[in-house]
Amino acid sequence: MRLVFAGTPEFAASALRALLDAGHEISLVLTQPDRPAGRGMSLQPSPVKRQALAAGIEVFQPNSLRDLEAQNRIRDVVPEVMVVAAYGLILPQAVLDIPRLGCLNIHASLLPRWRGAAPIQRAILAGDAETGVCIMQMEAGLDTGPVLRSHAIPIAGDDTAGTVHDKLAELGARLVVGTLAELPITARPQPESGVTYAAKIEKAEARLDWRLPAAEVERRVRAFNPFPGALASFDGHSVKVWRAECVPTEGEPGRILAADKHGIVVGCGQNALRLLELQKAGGRRLSADQLLAGTPLSVGTSFDLAA
C-alpha cells in the first residue's frame, strides 16, 4: 500500500522497519523536528528520521499540522493509509481525512485503559497484570477511535518500562503489518467504561517516598527505568535506584535495616525494599555491594523520607 508514516522515537522506528520489510511503499515520513541532546546539546535526529533517511525516504518535520502548507505536503503523495506511532503532534481533522482508508495509530495499551502519552509507565505504576497494543482508527479525540486489532501480553514482576517498551514495540510492528494486510476491517468502538488517562511522566514523580508501601515504591523503580530513573536522597545527596525487590520486613520508613552483599534494605510504610542496583550522581550504575564499598550507608542511618 502507499503509506505516509508519522512517528518519532524508537517505538515508532520498529514499526517503520517492519512496514518497509513487508514491502509497503512509504512515500513520506513525518517526525518531530531535531532536538538538542547529549553533553554538547547538539541537534539530533529522531530514531524515525534516521531510519527513513537510511531507507531513502523523504522526511518532513513540521512544527504543526494545522497549516494548509503542511496538509498539502501530505495530500500531494495521495496516501491510502497514514500509520501513526508515538508521533507527538495532534492530527487535525483535515489531516485525518486525507488518506483513503484513514489514519491508523499504534497505541501501547489495551484501550480504553491508558489513553494518552505514557501508557507503559502508568500500567506498571498501577500494578496492572497485563498490557498490550491496539491498532486504532484515529479520530479527533485523544485515543478515542475504534479498535481494529489488539493483542495483550502479561507484565512480569521484573518488567521495567524499558523491557515492556521493547516487547510492545515488536508486537506493535507485527500487529500493524497484519492489520494492513487485512484491510478493510470492521473496527469495534471502545467501551465507555474503563477509561483511564496516562498523563505524561514528570521528573518530579520519580522521587521515592519511603512512607509508601514497599510494593508501590518498587513499582516506581520499575516504571521509571530507564527514564527518568527513580530518585532517592541520602543526607541531601541524590542516588538513582535502578533495581529493587520487596522483602517482608518492617521498619521505620527510610531507615536502613540491612546493608550487605545481598543489598540495602530500607523500611517503607509497609514492608521494606531491598535496593540491588544504584547510581550516584555523575557515576555509573553499581550493585549495592559495590556502592557500599565507597559510600557510608550503614544500618540505622536513614534515607531522606522523600527525595
Question: DSSP letter string over the chain?
Answer: -EEEEEE-SHHHHHHHHHHHHTT-EEEEEE-PPPEEETTTTEEE--HHHHHHHHTT--EE--S-S-SHHHHHHHHTT--SEEEEES--S---HHHHTSSTT-EEEEESS-TTTTEES-HHHHHHHTT-SEEEEEEEE--SSTT-SPEEEEEEEE--TT--HHHHHHHHHHHHHHHHHHHHHH-S---BPPPSSS--EEPPPPGGGGB-BTTSBHHHHHHHHHHTTTTT-EEEEETTEEEEEEEEEEES----TTBEEEEETTEEEEE-SBSEEEEEEEEETTS--EEHHHHHHHS---TT-B--SB-
Stretch 262-279: mean pLDDT: 97
Shared-domain flag, residues 190 and 208 = no
Q: Categorize the per-residue pLDDT at 294 as very low, low, confident or very high, splitting at 50, 70 and 90.
A: confident
What's the pLDDT at 40?
A: 78
Of 182, 198, 214, the domain-final residue: 198
The set of cell numbers assigned to 14 is 520498529
Shared-domain flag, residues 142 and 261 = no
Exposure of 74 by Cβ count < 10 A (0-12 exposed, 13-18 middle, 19+ buried)? buried
Domain that holds residue 225: 203-294
Q: How far is CA 171 from CA 9, 21, 243, in A?
A: 16, 15, 25
What's the pLDDT at 307?
A: 59
Stretch 214-235: mean pLDDT: 96
What's the pLDDT at 236?
A: 84
What's the pLDDT at 238?
A: 92
Cα–Cα distance between 14 and 186 in angstroms, integer?
A: 26
**Residue 146 domain flag:** yes
How many alpha carbons lie under 13 Å from residue 36 in its C-beta half-sphere? 4
Terminal CA-CA length for the chain:
51
45-56 per-position pLDDT tens digit:
999 999 999 999
- Does the pLDDT value for residue 172 go beyond 70? yes
Q: Categorize the per-residue pLDDT at 189 as very low, low, confident or very high, splitting at 50, 70 and 90.
A: very high
Return the percentage of the chain with pLDDT > 90, whole number. Answer: 91
Whether the CB-CB separation of 125 and 206 falls below 8 Å is answered with no
94-139 per-position pLDDT tens digit:
999 999 999 999 999 999 999 999 999 999 999 999 999 999 999 9
What's the pLDDT at 41?
A: 81
Supply the pTM of this predicted model: 0.95
Shared-domain flag, residues 50 and 189 = yes
CATH code of the domain covering residue 83: 3.40.50.170
**Averaged confidence pLDDT in the chain:** 96
Of 166, 198, 230, the domain-final residue: 198
62-103 per-position pLDDT tens digit:
999 999 999 999 999 999 999 999 999 999 999 999 999 999
**Residue 307 domain flag:** no
**Residue 301 domain flag:** no
11-42 per-position pLDDT tens digit:
999 999 999 999 999 999 999 999 988 777 88
- Does the pLDDT value for residue 306 go beyond 80? no
Shared-domain flag, residues 57 and 178 = yes
**Residue 184 domain flag:** yes
- Does the pLDDT value for residue 8 go beyond 90? yes
